[in-house]
Structure 1
Amino acid sequence: MITGSVVVIINNLLSGNSFTSRKTLNPTKAKEANMSPIIQGRIWRFADNIDTDLIIPGKYLRTTDMSVFASHAMEGIDPEFSKKVTKNDIIVAGKNFGCGSSREQAPLALKHAGVGCVVAESFARIFFRNSINVGLPIIEAVVDCKHSDVASVDVEKGTVTCRGKTYQGVKLPGFLLTILLDGGLIQHRRKQKQ
């Protein structure tokens, strides 16, 4: 079921209205440039079973303002996360990342906070697909990276490199990779219409 706020977000994106955040590019400009398949950033390490209520608490879901989502990302675990995260930082988590309620705002909150990619041992399936749909890179992989390490993720190859070692994750199927590299499902559909 699509919530009212998500319908507004989708309608705004389709009409060309832009959302801005203090830490991210205007999505309209980002879609023109497409996403880079290589992401380098600092690691934020989290445990298993990080649910969508921890990613973006439900009390913030009545808005369509991406900067509100960004400023409360990961608030349920680290209230200072949104103040400390920088563009292209990488979340590395354990199993079942994004479990819980079906909340499209969860990957949007991470993306607009500046998170460049989420790497986890496994994802809740709906979070996985919502991430692709909003253009948030995700890789299923088991990696031995520590909090604050600097890592590089190759989205096309499904690899994560940190501490001098490269870990092979699950490569995205071609059609999902195309949607992701186009900036998400809406931007992908726009590109197909051109």
Structure 2
Amino acid sequence: MNLYKFAKNAVAILFFPLYRIKIIGKENVPKEGPVIICSNHISNLDPPVVGITSPRDIHFMAKGELFEKRFLGKLLLGIQAFPVRRGLSDRNALRKGLEILKNGETLGLFPEGTRSKTGEIGKPLAGAGFFALRSDAAIVPCVIIGPYKAFRRLTVIYGEPMDIEHYRKTKVSAKDTAEAIMNEIRILKENHQK
């Protein structure tokens, strides 16, 4: 068993009962081909939660500083994370993300780029739009709802893949495409909080 599978199983055993995780729409994640899962970001625990609830193995970007710590860096690489320098246009990270999609794999993104301190969905950076426009990946919006509190319900919802072919053909900007993705995440949240 590789490190990714081992870590996914170990985290799932701990998190599912602790946060009473409920998954909705798992079937909306395509079984094959390139996929970008775009989620809101409310906690440092979001990547492992999306990781254990997704039916696909996911590659996440993580801030570059984490890879400078030797043990942690090796661990992150072992669980398919790759470094990104925040606040800069990191060409290596962009290339790595496109390579993952070209290989038909799954890229996990938090379009806001940083955690929301209020829990409200914020403004996205252009990154999610860049990957959506430069690949032929299916874009799956995802929303995490609920507090990360022991034995309180945490719900993870996967929406239907977005049709962004129009954005690709009409050369819509990466920023506007990211806004459209974020809006789908917002709608997903509103529809499940009623």
Is this a same-fold pair by TM over 0.5? Answer: no
Normalized per residue, the structure richer in helix is 2
After TM superposition, the score normalised by the length of structure 2 is 0.30
Larger RCO: 1 or 2 (CA < 8 Å, sep 6+)? 2
TM-score by length of 1: 0.30
